[in-house]
Amino acid sequence: MAKATDTGSRSLSVAVLTVSDSRTVETDTSGAYLVEQLAADGHALAARAIVVDDIYRIRAVLSAWIADPAVNAVLVTGGTGFSGRDSTPEAVRPLFDKDIDGFGEVFRTLSYQEIGSSTIQSRALAGLANDTVIFCMPGSTGACRTAWEGLIREQLDSSHRPCNFVGVLGARTGPS
């Protein structure tokens, strides 16, 4: 559950999922980066997992976290491209109650400044499922940094104005 931090913003319980056919805990630099950033911003790590790029395995892990009232948010890294077995969008989108279209749009705008037209190959997406906010970003550490610093950090900060996603997680986090 969320709790207030020394700065007055609320700490969230966040899970991190890496989608990869080749990464291990030792080589998962993107997942490690996200875990470090969550801790630095006062959030609690609810769970961390690495799953192969398989629609049903991704859905199984996410479904369990979405159903868990102790998980407020999920950060998914990997599987958002067009190559080989990339299937994160196909796995995750059916689980959403609502899409957050602006996440992918703004992510690609920020990414364009860094990698140019290659950003069109990113299928970054986000949505809400059972009062859990889910952000899916590419698997590179650079892309995770772009998403975290440019969008996610502020949206998981209850003090960010004029609005943030902590406010829509009210069923799980309690009043502001």
**Which DSSP state fits 148?**
I
How does pLDDT run across 98-147, given as a tens digit for each residue?
A: 999 999 999 999 999 999 999 999 999 999 999 999 999 999 999 999 99
Angle of CA points 150, 28, 63, to nearest 5°: 75
Which pTM does this prediction carry?
0.91
Domain map (residue ranges) of the chain: 3-173
pLDDT at 147: 97
pLDDT digits (tens, 9 = 90+) for 51-87: 999 999 999 999 999 999 999 999 999 989 888 889 9
Helices (H), 26-140: 29-40, 55-67, 88-92, 101-115
- Number of C-alpha atoms within 13 angstroms, CB side, residue 107? 28
Average pLDDT over residues 93-97: 97
94 upstream amide cis, omega within 30 of 0: no
- CATH architecture of the domain 3-173 equals 3-Layer(aba) Sandwich (3.40)
- 124 token code pair: 């970054």
What number is the average pLDDT over the span 17-31?
Answer: 95
104 touches 123 (CB < 8 A) = yes
Cβ neighbours of residue 27 closer than 8 Å, sequence gap 6 or more: none
